[in-house]
Amino acid sequence: MTRKRVALFLLMFSMSTVLAACGGDDKKTEAGSTGGGSEKLSGTINVSGSSTVAPITTRVAEKFKEKEGGVSINVDGPGTGDGFVLFCKGETDISDASRPIKKAEADNCKAAGIDFIELKVAIDGMAVMTHPSNGSLTCLSLADLYALIGPESKGFKKWADASALGKELGSKTTYPAGNLDVYGPGEESGTYDSFVELAIEPIAKKRTEAGKIKKDQEKTTRPDYSSSGDDNIIIQGIEGSKTSLGWVGIAYANEQGDKVKKLQVSKEAGGTCVDPTDENIAAAKYPLSRYLYIYVNAAKEKSNPAIGAFVDYFLNDGIGAVTEVKYIALADADLTKTKDVWTAKTVGTRDGGK
C-alpha cells in the first residue's frame, strides 16, 4: 500500500470514528436523563396548597426554569386543605403542605384512584407575634395561647378577659391592657391545623376530661378572630393593631424585621421560654415546630417527565431554596430518607393519615 493510500485510509478511519462517537452521543441524548439538559423538556406542572410552602416551591421553580426553560410551573397557595381538595380531584400534579395529609384527605385520594408520594422537605416554626409597642409582653405559654385563642375564649374582647381562664390553667402571666385583636390563618390552612395540634389540643384534651368543653371542640380555636389564608394579610393585621396577637410561619415573621414582635413560647405554664430561632426550631426545642411537605401524584409523575425532573431537582440542586427563603433545612438523615422515598417511588403516607 502506497503512502498516499495509507494516509487516505487513516483519514477515513478517523472520520468514521468521530461520526460513530457523535452517533453514540445522539442515542445517549435520546435516552438520557433530563437533569443535565441533555434533552429539552417541555410541558406544564401545576402546584397548589400551602401558602407557607409556596415560597420554597416558587424559588425551586425559578431555579429549575433557568435550566429547563420549556417547562411552565404554576404555583398557587390557597392553603393546605384547599390544595388537597384539588390534588385529590386530580386537578394538580404536586400539593404543597404545611402538615401531613389527614385520613379523610387520603381517603378522598384513594377513592379517586390517586396514589401519592409524600416527601418531607423542610422544617418550619410558627411564630406567635404582637405589635412592637406591646412592650410588657415577651413570652406566652401554651396555657396562655389556649386562654387567648382556644375554644373557651370566644367572646373575649380584651386581653384581661382571658385572665381567669389563664389562672385556672396555671398561668402566672399578666396580660397587657387593651383590646385583644387576634389575626391568624383560617381553617383551610395547614398552619391553622398545626397550631391547633401543637398549641391547643394538649390542653383541650384535658379540658374535655374535666368536662369543661365537648369532644368536638378539642381541635378548634375560637371562631371570632380575623382569619385569612394569606399570611401577608395576617401580618398586616398584626402590624395595624398595637394590642394584636397572631401567628404565621416563621419565614413570614422574619421578613418583617422590627415591624412585628416575635414572642417566646413555653410548653408549660411558668416553664422555660424559648425563642423561635432557627437553631431552636431545628432541634424541636421551640414548642411550635413542624415539618413541611410536598405530595406528588404518582401516575402523573410517570406520564409527565417534567414532573420527575422537577422533583429530582427540588431534592438535590434545588434544596438550597429552603434556606434561601428563610426556612430551616432538614437534618442530613431526614433528607436522605426523603430521597430514598422518592427514589423508590414509595406511595402512601408515613406521617399522616390521622
Kindly report, residue by residue over 213-232, the tens digit of the pLDDT.
999 999 999 999 999 988 89
Per-residue cell: 255: 421578613
Rounded-to-integer distance, Cα 286 and Cα 98, Å? 17
Rounded-to-integer distance, Cα 85 and Cα 114, Å? 12
- Beta strands 116-130 and 139-141 are unpaired
Q: What is the pLDDT of residue 189?
A: 92
**Pick from 76, 80, 60, 78: which is nearest to 68 by CA?**
60
- Reply yes or no on whether the pLDDT at 14 is more than 50: no
C-alpha to C-alpha distances, 258 to 13, 27, 240, nearest whole angstrom: 73, 57, 13
- The residue type at 85: V
In the chain, the percentage of residues whose pLDDT exceeds 90 is 84
In the chain, % helix, strand, coil (3-state, to 5) comes to 45, 20, 35
- Reply yes or no on whether the pLDDT at 18 is more than 80: no
- Reply yes or no on whether the pLDDT at 9 is more than 50: no
C-alpha to C-alpha distances, 284 to 23, 24, 145, 294, nearest whole angstrom: 55, 52, 19, 21
Rounded-to-integer distance, Cα 311 and Cα 117, Å? 11
Rounded-to-integer distance, Cα 220 and Cα 163, Å? 20
Per-residue b or e along 291-307, where b marks 16 or more CB atoms closer than 10 Å to that residue's CB: bbbbbbbbebbeebbbb
- Reply yes or no on whether the pLDDT at 11 is more than 60: no
**Pick from 73, 112, 69: which is nearest to 294 by CA?**
73
Give the pLDDT band (50/70/90) at residue 1. Answer: very low
Average pLDDT, whole number, for the chain? 90
Which domains does the chain possess?
Answer: 43-123+291-344 (3.40.190.10), 125-289 (3.40.190.10)
Q: What is the pLDDT of residue 39?
A: 66
Kindly report, residue by residue over 88-125, the tens digit of the pLDDT.
999 999 999 999 999 999 999 999 999 999 999 999 99
Q: What is the pLDDT of residue 353?
A: 87
- Reply yes or no on whether the pLDDT at 237 is more than 80: yes
Q: What is the pLDDT of residue 37?
A: 44
Helix or strand (DSSP H, E) at 246: strand 244-249
Rounded-to-integer distance, Cα 239 and Cα 66, Å? 36
- The residue type at 108: N
- Reply yes or no on whether the pLDDT at 3 is more than 90: no
Kindly report, residue by residue over 29-46, the tens digit of the pLDDT.
332 333 444 468 999 999
- Reply yes or no on whether the pLDDT at 291 is more than 80: yes
Give the pLDDT band (50/70/90) at residue 354. Answer: confident
Kindly report, residue by residue over 161-198, the tens digit of the pLDDT.
999 999 999 999 999 999 999 999 999 899 999 999 99
22-26, 245-249, 310-314, 343-347 — which is least confidently predicted?
Answer: 22-26
